[in-house]
Amino acid sequence: MITALAPMATLTHEALRLLIHRFGDPTEYYSEMIHAPSYVCGGVFEKWYVRTAPAPDKMVWQLTGPTPSSMAQAAALLLPLGGLGIDVNMGCSAPDIVKTGCGIAWMSKEGAEVRTLISSIRSCIDQYLTDNPGQQRRLGVKLRLGEDEDYTRLLDFCRMLVDEGVEQLTLHPRTRREKYGRPPRHGYTVRLGQDIGVPVYGNGAISSAGEAVSFMEKYPCSGLMIGRAAITRPWIFRQIELGLGAIPQEKDRRAIDLLELSLFFLDRLAESQPPEFFMTRARRFFFYFCDNLSFAHHCKTRIQNAKAPEHIRDLLEEYFRDVPQDQVIPGIAPEISP
């Protein structure tokens, strides 16, 4: 089964990918949401969203935007950067995104406008492939169930997308208003994959490699997209391979030094993000990564209140001096529990 790192604003940047890469890449890396109008206009920060290390060939560029024209223009600019293709965000339900006509707002727009969006990006991809024989790029969409739980409407919507040239879907099976406290209905993911005729990835509420392996057994679909769990455990994709038997467990008993990984991440963050982004990205990362610690809330709070990059380093070093038993996780393989 394909594994993918989910697109998450302020999180799925190059520094995180470099950290995950130390243990083993997923099949695909989705970028942060790229705001099409800003990218087309050459926004000052947009270049940081399209860095490709460590695996340029595994990149999927996720676009968000309110109009078909800006999305198509952005797609045309992204295609030459390499990777697997373009993914259209129709799933983000953050109010600030929805009110601008982006994200899941597309699932409520007139069918003609949605068709224009997809057909315009499809035409860009087809033209690129014509001009560059031998290359491959796909068109995907990430979406939710919609405004409410109506499978017939979801299926009709997805059939429209496929008719216009979408080749892959990722379903986060919650409605627009449902938060993470409501379990996703993964049965819809399996059902959609059986009914739609293109690969469908599942997404939502996977918190460990054991849960990922169980998901693959219980909900057979084309792929599994993992988000927050990959921030907490950057080694999760390696663990999944171990859990599935793709790698013999006895061959991977390496210890995980959480302080060393933290400092590695901070160094990569300084290299791969503008200074204006450093503190917000660091705080977001450690909000999840600190869940590996015995006193997670204490450490998170101190990092959230840190004023400068060097303060975060000092706080982490101080924490592991005070709680040395937290610094090293004995090994990846023994943690697998399918």
Instruction: Tell me the pLDDT of the chain averaged across its residues.
Output: 93
pLDDT of residue 331: 72
Residues 181 and 39 in one domain: yes
Longest CA–CA span in the chain (Å) reads: 61
Examine residue 113 and state whether it is found in any structural domain, yes or no: yes
**Residue 237 pLDDT class (50, 70, 90 cuts):** very high
Token digits for 218? 């219980």
Cα separation, 305 vs 301, whole angstroms: 6
My answer on whether 288 and 188 are in the same domain is: no
Task: Provide the pLDDT for residue 82.
Answer: 96
Q: Cα torsion at 273, 274, 280, 285 (round to 10°)?
A: 10
d(CA 55, CA 336): 26
pLDDT average, residue stretch 175-186:
88
Q: What is the mean pLDDT of residues 95-118?
A: 97
Examine the domain organization and report whether 56 and 174 are in the same domain.
yes
Asked whether residue 201 falls in the same domain as residue 295, the answer is no
Structure confidence by residue, pLDDT tens digits, 311-333 = 999 999 999 999 999 999 987 65
Domain membership of residue 218 (yes or no) is no
Residues 183 and 39 reside in one and the same domain: yes
- Please check whether residues 139 and 50 belong to one and the same domain: yes
* Residue 156, domain member (yes or no): yes
Residue 39 has pLDDT above 90, yes or no: yes
Q: Which CATH number do you get for residue 188?
A: 3.20.20.70
Average pLDDT of the residues in 284-305: 97
Per-residue pLDDT at 258 exceeds 50: yes
C-alpha separations of 23 from 86, 329, 331 in Å:
26, 14, 12
> 337 pLDDT band (50/70/90 cuts)?
very low
* Within-domain flag for 157: yes
Q: What is the mean pLDDT of residues 238-267?
A: 81
Residue 245 pLDDT: 62
Q: Are 213 and 338 in contact (CB under 8 A)?
A: yes
pLDDT digits (tens, 9 = 90+) for 112-148: 999 999 999 999 999 999 999 999 999 999 999 999 9
5 lies in some domain: no
Q: Report angle CA 75, 77, 81 to the nearest 5 degrees.
A: 100
Would 338 be classed as within a structural domain?
no
Q: Are residues 35 and 173 in the same domain?
A: yes
pLDDT band at 334 (very low <50, low <70, confident <90, very high): very low
Query: Are 104 and 186 within one domain?
Result: yes
Query: End of a domain among 173, 205, 237?
Result: 205
Between the alpha carbon of residue 237 and those of residues 27, 105, 121, 206, 242, the distances in Å are 9, 31, 31, 12, 9
Number of domains in the chain: 2
What is the rounded average pLDDT of the residues 24-33? 96
Same domain? For 273 and 170 the reply is: no
Cα–Cα distance, 18 to 58 (Å, whole number): 13
Give domain status of residue 71, yes or no: yes
pLDDT at 336 over 70: no
pLDDT at 246: 56
Task: Indicate if 50 and 164 belong to the same structural domain.
Answer: yes
Per the structure block, which two tokens stand in for 249?
A: 């467990």
Would residue 11 count as lying in a domain?
Answer: no
Best CA proximity match to 240, nearest among 109, 99, 112, 336: 336
Whether 194 and 305 map to the same domain: the answer is no
Q: Which domain holds residue 129?
A: 31-205
Please tell me the least confidently modeled range out of 39-43, 159-163, 245-249.
245-249
Q: Is there a single domain that holds both residue 48 and residue 190?
A: yes
Share of the chain above pLDDT 90, in %: 88
How large is the average pLDDT for residues 98-116? Answer: 97
pLDDT band at 181 (very low <50, low <70, confident <90, very high): confident
Weakest mean pLDDT among 19-28, 174-183, 248-257: 248-257
pLDDT higher than threshold 60 for residue 249: no
DSSP 290: G
